[in-house]
Amino acid sequence: MNVLANDGVSQVGIDRLKQAGYTVITDKVAQENLVEYINENNISCLLVRSATTARKELIDACPGLKLIGRGGVGMDNIDVAYARDKGLKVINTPAASSQSVAELVMGELFVLSRFFYDSFKNMENGEFSKLKKAYAKGSELRGKKLGIVGFGRIGQSLASYALGVGMDVVAVDRFMEGAIEIKIPIGTEQNASVSITPKKNLQEVISSLDYLSLHVPKQADGSAVIGKNEFNAMKDGIKIVNAARGGVIDEDALIDALNTGKVDCIALDVYENEPNPRKDLLSHPKIACTPHIGAATKEAQNRIGEELAEQIINEFA
């Protein structure tokens, strides 16, 4: 059985599939050539990440396709319900990258608090004494209130890190009921725990937040979770991280909020127009930009590859 990992897969996953008798192809096929390639090469399993889409047209045009796998959490680049209605198996790896994404977000909280996003750009050509003065009003994370919108695996992992540095964590999740126990590792052998009950409505808490991190999927109707009304309700000078999906934040409203000082600064790992984000976002002095690397650690990629391989093998055993 042939497997096309069009956006790549870890060597751990490749080796596991090969041991089970699968042929793994890691050629990067352009989206417009994907249907032809799948049919000509008798591809049974298509593995994607965020770069490749598997829409209705591709599913209809590839009758030999049996499985579509997403290396990661969100599956908004796959027409999941349609594929399943057509008899295809659709899988993903929701837990494999949680820690890596949470660690990126935690790093961004420090970056925003101490002006790293701007100082990196200016140290080489700026005057040292002036820069020292410009960056002299950083913030500590301890004691600050962090809102986590979307309290699934990634949100809970972030909460564990944030609680560990002394932040006050407020979770918002429309679908969760009751309290969630968050384990906080202390070293490698001990854990503390904190109980958090998510709020249903962001508007209940948004005006009290010092920091905000988003962990929700792209909305089915294309609407933004954070737009003009939400920005207006925020505390002046809030700091934000979006490592969820492009489109979760209204980018026009974001630029306005940054320019007025409503938002002090923001870290973006995702954008509406990937892989070609707006230039005014990339060049804005109050935005820390990374190229959608939330799950891009060796550890996460190995877990993703291994988990995809095991699911495929189990499915066709």
**58-78, pLDDT tens digit by residue?**
999 999 999 999 998 889 899
Measured distance CA(225)–CA(300) in Å, rounded: 27
**Residue 317 pLDDT exceeds 90:** no
Question: Would you state the pLDDT for residue 53?
Answer: 97
> What's the confidence (pLDDT) of residue 189?
84
- Tokens describing residue 198: 């998510």
Q: Secondary structure of the chain in the HEC alphabet?
A: CEEEECCCCCHHHHHHHHHCCCEEECCCCCHHHHHHHHHHCCEEEEEECCCCCECHHHHHHCCCCCEEEECCCCCCCECHHHHHHCCCEEEECCCCCHHHHHHHHHHHHHHHHCCHHHHHHHCCCCCHHHHHHHCCCCCCCCCCEEEEECCCHHHHHHHHHHHHCCCEEEEECCCCCCCEEEEEEECCCEEEEEEECCECCHHHCHHHCCEEEECCCCCCCCCCCECHHHHHHCCCCEEEEECCCCCCECHHHHHHHHHHCCEEEEEECCCCCCCCCCHHHHCCCCEEECCCCCCCCHHHHHHHHHHHHHHHHHHCC
Q: What is the pLDDT of residues 80-131, one digit of tens each?
A: 999 999 999 999 998 999 999 999 999 999 999 999 999 988 999 999 999 9
By annotation, the residues acting in catalysis are: 245, 274, 292
Query: If 0-12 CB within 10 Å is exposed, 13-18 middle and 19+ buried, where does residue 302 land?
Result: middle
Average pLDDT, the chain: 96
Residue 19's pLDDT band, with cuts at 50, 70 and 90, is: very high
pLDDT digits (tens, 9 = 90+) for 171-226: 999 999 999 999 999 887 899 999 999 999 999 999 999 999 999 998 888 899 99
Q: Give residue 187's pLDDT.
A: 85
pLDDT for 188 equals 79
Q: How far is CA 154 from CA 253, 289, 291, 306, in A?
A: 26, 20, 19, 19
Whether the Cβ atoms of residue 25 and residue 2 lie closer than 8 Å to each other: yes
Quote the pLDDT of residue 122: 92
Q: Which domains does the chain have, with CATH numbers?
A: 2-94+298-315 (3.40.50.720), 98-289 (3.40.50.720)
Distance CA 294, CA 88 (A): 28
- For the residues 130-146, what does the mean pLDDT come to? 96
Query: Is the confidence at residue 285, as pLDDT, over 90?
Result: yes
Burial tier of 123 (Cβ tally within 10 Å: 0-12, 13-18, 19+) = exposed
Examine the pLDDT at 234 and tell me if it is beyond 90. Answer: yes
pLDDT digits (tens, 9 = 90+) for 29-45: 999 999 999 999 999 99
Per-residue pLDDT at 270 exceeds 90: yes
Percent of the chain with pLDDT over 70: 100
Cβ atoms of 212 and 108 within 8 Å: the answer is no
As a whole number of angstroms, the distance between CA 175 and CA 177 comes to 7
